[in-house]
Amino acid sequence: MAEITKAIIPVAGRGTRFLPLSKVVPKEFFPLGYVPLVSYAVAEAKAAGACEIIFVCSTNHKLIEEYFRRTPKIEALLQERKEKRLLEDLASLEELADGLSFSTVTDKPFGDGHAILQARKLIGEDPCFVLYPDDVIEAKVPCALQLAQAFRTSKRPVIGLFELPKDRLSSYGVVDSERLARRLHKIKKIVQKPDPGQEPSSLALAGRSILTPEVFAYLRKQKANKNGEISLTETFAEIVKAGKIIYGVECEGRWWECGSKEAWMKSFLYFALSNPDYGKELQKFIKEEKLI
């Protein structure tokens, strides 16, 4: 049970914040630099030891399957045209997919907890990662691996935490916790989107977690909230309230959010401008055009 080999990536949301573009392009395929968000989540899961990736989709499962599938005809065409750079890009994607199995389950948009519950049969009694593709965490040690290191000794659910400024906490789940080590916390309470001045701490949930069968049991009996959704954060809160143990890891790294247009554009600019192949040229363009 100590090693985690399965990861759930929920991609069944409506993407309403990105309308009208999200009518035709699923949010998980929005680019960050020139790589789609879903690639970052898969790469992190693989680096943490996962070899089975389970996507919870709405109707776009074929698009995900196509993206990670090899395309020999396109490769042959590029070889004929001697498009070395494009071939290298395809090879990078093939390298990412190598050694991974991909599965999809479908769900209606009834909340992230409901989506995760749809993967229960494929997870079985194993622990699993959950990674949200619109939360991209840039870190020397992948965030999911940081959580896995805590899980190896605890064998309990683990959630990823990041410290945020107080003026941003009202949009997140925020924890009250007991610090056990430099970055390890025992969760005492979780408040979903606290009112200003009611924040129990400055530590917010960051879209990374490790679930055990116990969490799925709570998800199954969790009631829908006022929005008609089953929330994973609210389920975690109920587990802690019942006296069960959940650990939190204050993750090292930088959290890049892509859940809103403004956040995504900021994150896109960072990844584009820091790209080793195109970044310098883009920075030069911005200076020449006097955009800042």
Tokens of 160: 């990823």
In whole angstroms, give the CA distance from residue 198 to residue 154: 30
pLDDT, one tens digit for every residue, the chain (292 residues): 458 999 999 997 777 888 898 888 888 999 998 899 999 999 999 999 999 999 998 766 678 888 999 899 999 999 999 999 999 999 999 999 999 999 999 877 788 999 999 999 999 999 999 999 999 999 999 999 999 999 999 999 999 999 999 989 999 999 999 999 989 999 999 999 999 989 999 999 999 999 999 999 999 999 888 888 899 999 999 999 999 999 999 999 999 999 899 999 999 999 999 999 899 999 999 999 998 8
Tokens of 212: 């055990």
pLDDT at 1: 45
In whole angstroms, give the CA distance from residue 214 to residue 139: 29
In whole angstroms, give the CA distance from residue 4 to residue 6: 6
Q: Which string of DSSP letters, residue by residue, matches 262-283?
A: HHHHHHHHHHHHT-TTTHHHHH
What's the number of CA atoms in the CB half-sphere (13 Å) around residue 267? 25
Helices (H), 69-187: 72-80, 84-97, 112-117, 120-123, 143-154
- Do 38 and 64 meet the contact criterion of CB atoms below 8 Å apart? yes
Angstrom distances, CA of residue 37 to CA of 9, 13, 135, 195, 268: 11, 14, 9, 30, 10
pLDDT at 2: 59
Which residue has tokens 């650990």?
A: 247
pLDDT at 60: 62
Closest CA to 236 of 158, 166, 127: 158
Q: Which amino acid is at 262?
A: E
In whole angstroms, give the CA distance from residue 151 to residue 4: 9
- Do 248 and 162 meet the contact criterion of CB atoms below 8 Å apart? no
Contacts for 18 with CB less than 8 Å, ≥ 6 apart:
27, 30, 261, 264
Question: Do β-strands 254-257 and 135-138 pair in parallel, antiparallel, or remain unpaired?
Answer: antiparallel
Helix axes 72-80, 84-97, angle to 10 degrees: 160
Domains and CATH numbers, the chain: 6-288 (3.90.550.10)
Q: Which amino acid is at 88?
A: E
Radius of gyration for the chain, computed over Cα atoms and rounded to the nearest angstrom: 20
